């Protein structure tokens, strides 16, 4: 039994759910998301709750059962509240500058600046020069954009300089032992 897959998804008021064959589309106050359902998993709408059902107990189907429930739940949360990932920039002279709501210019110690443009549905906020917040309604895209920004200059283990997630702990190395 998949405990995650069997849990019902509550749909808040103001959110419309439409299941059309293998496609589920969810519309809310922040926008609209749609997705193809994987495998043989079906989603049933029962008033203000959604349930994911699987036809058999094969291993692949059981794995997709919990996955589908999590994906649909994230869609509901995304169109109501949205998702955000916070990034911190650590290093002397490292900073971010907003270039509008969907563009960002990063100075990360290279000989040039790095420009990042957001895909549709994703926006950037820069409350401080060393902090970037990635906002959007699709959890998958928000996480991928944040990971792409982090991959431009990953935190290095000696001084900890680079782009990291907020609250991320960097394991530090000792470095060279000097002459004695």
pLDDT at 178: 64
Q: What share of the chain is helix, strand, coil (3-state, %, to 5)?
A: 20, 35, 40
pLDDT for 2 equals 63
Residue pointed to by tokens 């790095």: 114
pLDDT attached to residue 122 = 94
Residue 158 phi/psi, 5-degree rounding, is -90, -50
Rg (CA), the chain: 21
Tokens, residue 54? 């699987």
Residue 113 tokens, joined: 């600046």
Residue 179, pLDDT score: 66
How would you write the pLDDT of the chain (180 residues) with one tens digit per residue? 568 889 999 999 999 999 998 999 999 999 999 999 988 899 999 989 999 999 998 999 988 999 999 999 999 999 999 999 999 999 999 999 999 888 999 999 999 999 999 999 999 999 999 999 999 999 999 999 999 999 999 999 999 999 999 999 999 998 887 666
Residue 34's pLDDT is 95
pLDDT, residue 176, reads 84
What's the pLDDT score for residue 180? Answer: 63
């Amino acid at each position: 039994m998949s405990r995650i897959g069997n849990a019902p998804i509550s749909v808040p008021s103001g959110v419309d759910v439409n299941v059309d064959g293998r496609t589920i589309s969810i519309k809310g106050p922040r926008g609209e998301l749609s997705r193809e359902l994987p495998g043989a998993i079906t989603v049933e709408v029962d008033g203000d709750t959604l349930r994911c059902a699987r036809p058999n107990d094969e291993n692949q189907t059981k794995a997709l059962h919990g996955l589908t429930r999590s994906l649909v739940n994230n869609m509901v949360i995304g169109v109501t509240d949205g998702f955000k990932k916070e990034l911190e920039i650590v290093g002397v002279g490292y900073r971010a500058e907003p270039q509008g709501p969907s563009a960002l210019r990063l100075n990360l110690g290279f000989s040039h600046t790095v420009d990042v443009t957001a895909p549709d549905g994703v926006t950037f906020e820069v409350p401080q020069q060393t902090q970037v917040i990635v906002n959007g309604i699709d959890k998958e895209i928000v996480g991928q954009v944040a990971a792409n920004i982090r991959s431009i200059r990953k935190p290095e283990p000696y001084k900890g300089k680079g782009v990291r997630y907020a609250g991320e702990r960097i394991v530090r190395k000792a470095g060279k032992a000097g002459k004695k």
